[in-house]
Amino acid sequence: MLIRNGVLVGAEGQQRLDLRTRAEKIVEIAEGLTPEPGEEVVDASGLLVLPGFIDTHVHFRDPGGTHKEDFLSGTQAALAGGVTTILDMPNTQPAVTGREQLNAKAALAAAKAVVDYGLYLGATPENVEEAAGLANEVAAMKLYMGSSTGSLLVTEFAPLYRHFSTFSHDKPLVVHAEDEQSLQYFGALARPQSSATNTNHNLARPPLSAQIALSRALAIAEKTGRRLHIAHTTTQRELELIQEAKQKGVRVTCEVTPLHLFLTEEDQQQKGNLGKVNPPLRSREDQQALWRLFDSIDTIGTDHAPHTLEEKRQPYAQAPSGIPGVQTMLPLLLNAASQGRITLQAVIERCVTNPARIFGLSTKGALEIGKDADIVLIDPEKEYEITNEQMLSKCGWTPFAGTHIKGMIEQVYVRGALGYVRGTCIARAGSGKSVVYTQSC
């Protein structure tokens, strides 16, 4: 296939170049390529040609929560959002904590996925050895220092330290860094207010909880020399601590979600449980700090965490935390780029280049000869409004309904095959493949 007349966008810049794919790979990039006999030609005049996005943080609920998402609906939502590779979190039912659950989930993904995928292993106080033995087969290990949706949790020092020291030091250990004891404390304090209509989740799980857990994780990572990736960083203080640790040589990287870039605690007050997520939507000051310190963010991951409207309509205390987002990340970031808030290059660095590097996805990560032909065509001038009806997630809602977007996803290719075109997923269930891991850095 030959994609002609488009503007290729990479982490380094933009250039008008043609791109040729063959047998799932990018094989040629140059000016003015001529079609070969019988070759399919895509005219990308006026369009941007982006590498497929890599979302290293999704919860597709398969198995055990397939009334709100499964590998088919979740990866279709990803595809429609220009995300051609996802890494799925282990807090399913059952949680992926060992060989048996890993194999079972791999079979579900292989049968249903329409984008490429990798799987996480979840840490428990009991699975230190088993987890370490599975390192080569998983994207990373996920460790919850504070309780969130699902049952995974490691709070005691001994298993925490043993996971940090035993799990392959060169694979990311991805941490949900909120401190459980302080969550309990502040959660109890906030409870009397929970009968009121407006409960501020940011008071029940305050920035201090994130700071305590992060400091603990950084100290153990420094001591053990292991790699550490902080999921959903939400505050200025966390970004500062991470920068300081990096300067000292700690092997730490961090993620920010579009939720925390685009929404604040005021939105949670207004949207109620639809804005309930862990860590919570933060103050306007913290949100602004994420933009100001954008350079220090390594990856943007969605934390796509669908729950049904019915589940969200329960009282605050019972309503589950988590918000869907895999389909809206690229549109929101495209729109921010169109407003001049960030450059597309900076977006690609955080949504493609760095995720591929950090998670060792060496066949992904750039529009380059030899890489998988994961390609997104964008019309930068088209404008539209996000609606709940556009969402392909089974949960059927987005907190961004009504948001005006400039920049539209026209076509999405996974390994050279057209999977999505203007509102319609045409990819076949099971066309997604498990990613290959090489040494990450």
Looking at the annotation, which residues are catalytic?
303
- Looking up tokens 């030899």, which residue turns up? 370
Residue number with CB closer to ligand NCD (314 or 438): 314
Residue number with CB closer to ligand NCD (322 or 365): 322
Q: Site mask, Zn ion, residues 240-279, x = CB under 5 A? A: ----------------------------------------
Closest approach of ligand NCD to the CB of residue 176, in Å: 5
59 contributes a contact to ligand NCD by CB under 6 A: yes
How far, in Å, CA of 167 to CA of 171, rounded? 8
Question: Which residue's Cβ lies closest to Zn ion?
Answer: 176
Which token pair is 25? 């790979």
Question: Which residue's Cβ lies closest to ligand NCD?
Answer: 322
Closest approach of ligand NCD to the CB of residue 91, in Å: 5
Q: How far is CA 366 from the centre of its chain?
A: 17
Identity of residue 317 = A
Residue number with CB closer to Zn ion (159 or 306): 306
Closest approach of ligand NCD to the CB of residue 329, in Å: 15
DSSP E strands: which ranges in 205-303?
Answer: 228-230, 252-256, 299-300
Indicate which single residue of 123, 141, 277, 377 sits in contact with ligand NCD (rule: CB under 6 A): 277
Indicate which single residue of 176, 205, 282, 312 sits in contact with Zn ion (rule: CB under 5 A): 176
Q: Are 273 and 314 in contact (CB under 8 A)?
A: yes
Using the contact rule CB under 5 A, the part of the chain among 39-47, 174-182, 255-263, 329-337 near Zn ion is 174-182
Closest approach of ligand NCD to the CB of residue 54, in Å: 18
Is 92 exposed, middle or buried, given 0-12, 13-18 or 19+ CB atoms closer than 10 A?
A: buried
How far, in Å, CA of 279 to CA of 53, rounded? 23
Residue 320 CB contacts under 8 Å (≥ 6 apart), including other chains = 149, 276, 307, 311, 312
Residue number with CB closer to ligand NCD (67 or 223): 67
Residue number with CB closer to ligand NCD (150 or 331): 150
User: If DSSP codes are grouped into helix, strand and coil, which group holds residue 437?
Assistant: coil
How far, in Å, CA of 255 to CA of 300, rounded? 5
Number of residues that bind ligand NCD (CB under 6 A): 12
User: Choosing among ligand NCD, Zn ion, none, which partner's interface includes residue 277 (Cβ < 5 to 8 Å by kind)?
Assistant: ligand NCD
Residue number with CB closer to Zn ion (112 or 260): 260
Residues in region 286-345 near Zn ion by CB under 5 A:
303
Element (H, E) at 121: strand 116-122
Residue 29 CB contacts under 8 Å (≥ 6 apart), including other chains = 8, 17, 18, 19, 20, 367, 368, 369
Residues in region 61-80 near Zn ion by CB under 5 A:
none
User: If DSSP codes are grouped into helix, strand and coil, which group holds residue 125?
Assistant: coil
- Looking up tokens 């330290």, which residue turns up? 161
Q: Site mask, ligand NCD, residues 239-268, x = CB under 6 A? A: ------------------------------
Residues in region 113-152 near ligand NCD by CB under 6 A:
148-150
Strand-pair partners of 376:
50, 412
Identity of residue 19 = L
Using the contact rule CB under 5 A, the part of the chain among 148-156, 221-229, 372-380, 393-401 near Zn ion is 148-156
C-alpha distances out from residue 147 to 143, 155, 167, 200, 321, Å:
10, 9, 21, 18, 11
Closest approach of ligand NCD to the CB of residue 276, in Å: 7
Q: How many CA atoms lie within 13 A of 58 on its CB side?
A: 34
Indicate which single residue of 56, 75, 91, 182 sits in contact with ligand NCD (rule: CB under 6 A): 91
Closest approach of ligand NCD to the CB of residue 7, in Å: 35
Closest approach of Zn ion to the CB of residue 322, in Å: 7
Which token pair is 156? 């005691």
Q: How many CA atoms lie within 13 A of 360 on its CB side?
A: 18
Residues in region 156-215 near ligand NCD by CB under 6 A:
176
Which token pair is 96? 């992926």
List residues near ligand NCD by CB under 6 A: 59, 91, 148-150, 176, 277-278, 303, 305, 321-322
Binding site for Zn ion (CB under 5 A): 148, 176, 303
